[in-house]
Chain A
């Protein structure tokens, strides 16, 4: 076998091996999207009931709370960025990071200091490489987050919001994650979680639409007290929003990975095809050369014998 042909054969073999891997990753990601979507759906009842309860307290009492009060002069904002732990997901993490950069710029332009919190190894690596300060980061669960993970993230964030600004607390909390719109579309979005602006929450609008217009929310009896309920309710609300964001981000991550792996598989197929064509041409060229060598050799031999006869 000629050297050229051997090189092509070797490359085809290696591309085929890569294709097997990307194909497997594509199928794994496809099955995980479904699971992640189911998780999003399963967490919806809790989130919507919780939103209803928060609305009830917010409309049913005049209680002020640290988590709902707008700071008059906000000077510091926290940004929670949700990225993935693993790569090979196309532009998934870098799009989320870009969205966070845009938001950070905007907040800076408004005269606010930005404190960054990160979920996912990719985001941590990006900030670490650029030596930017990160207040806190969490890794290791982005492909299937649990409620406990959301709780772990929410804890320090809520603490930071409740802390006085002068003592290093923050006035606002923004979250940047990739929203799962459909199998084909996932868009990075930024939401302000705190202070709670009830109109902004999408679930809220839904609830407002379903409520009969003109009818007031019933007057609630609070157990133990409106403040007590709000104190317990709001952190749960934040946790549930973060949980929902993590789940959607996970679904988006799998969808992005599936798409990236699908195009990698397609590219590998394309590459194998063109390499096989080249290999075939090389083989043909080799055969042609061999034939002409044999013919040349034979005729030279024939010439030589004819010469010796004379």
Chain B
């Protein structure tokens, strides 16, 4: 059994996911970062992007929009203003949102919808 780290994925208004994981991959402002147990204490700013949490029973993918990653003592917290697990994302709705954002030329909304869709695809 490989060493595990405890992950808490929390959004502003709820706790989204928590559990043990072997690897967490997230996108910070300076690039993707993978955190494994025993990593140096870390505090980073997250970009909008999918977060992959590798657990013993497979991957958990979530779409995260803005937030932070903080890691210390084998405890990792992902703080996001908005976070959704891939299972929770309504693909049709996200696609509609993407279309709408494209036609309205709303770059931020377009990226959010794109991240959602990629999170579902990566699942």
Contact = CB atoms under 8 A, between A and B. Distances in A.
B8 to A, nearest CB: 7
A50 B79 contact: yes
A49 B67 CA distance: 12
B70 A53 contact: yes
Interface residues of B, number: 26
A118 B79 CA distance: 28
B45 interface: yes
B40 A46 contact: no
Interface of B is mostly: strand
B68 A229 contact: yes
Interface stretch (A70-78, A218-226, A289-297): A218-226
Interface in B4-51: 8, 10-15, 28-30, 33, 40-45
A147 B69 CA distance: 19
Interface string A207-227: 000000000011111111000
A221 B77 contact: no
A310 to B, nearest CB: 99
B73 A218 contact: yes
Given A46-B12, A224-B29, A232 B68 contact: yes
Contact of B45 (A43, A60, A221, A232): A232
Contacts of A228: 29, 45
Chain A: interface secondary structure? Answer: helix
B3 interface: no
B30 A224 contact: yes
A49 B13 contact: no
Q: Which of A146, A219, A229 has most chain B Cβ within 10 Å?
A: A229
B27 to A, nearest CB: 11
Given A56-B72, A220-B72, A229-B68, A46 B41 contact: no
Interface string B61-97: 0000001111011000101010000000000000000
Nearest to A150: B12
Contact of A53 (B11, B40, B43): B43
B59 to A, nearest CB: 23
Contact of A49 (B28, B70, B73, B81): B70
15 contacts: A42-B14, A46-B10, A46-B79, A49-B8, A49-B10, A52-B77, A53-B70, A56-B43, A147-B81, A219-B41, A223-B28, A224-B29, A224-B45, A229-B45, A239-B12
Interface of B: 8, 10-15, 28-30, 33, 40-45, 67-70, 72-73, 77, 79, 81
Can you list the 8 inter-chain pairs with the closest CB atoms, starting with the nearest? Answer: A223-B44, A218-B41, A147-B12, A45-B10, A232-B45, A42-B14, A220-B41, A49-B77
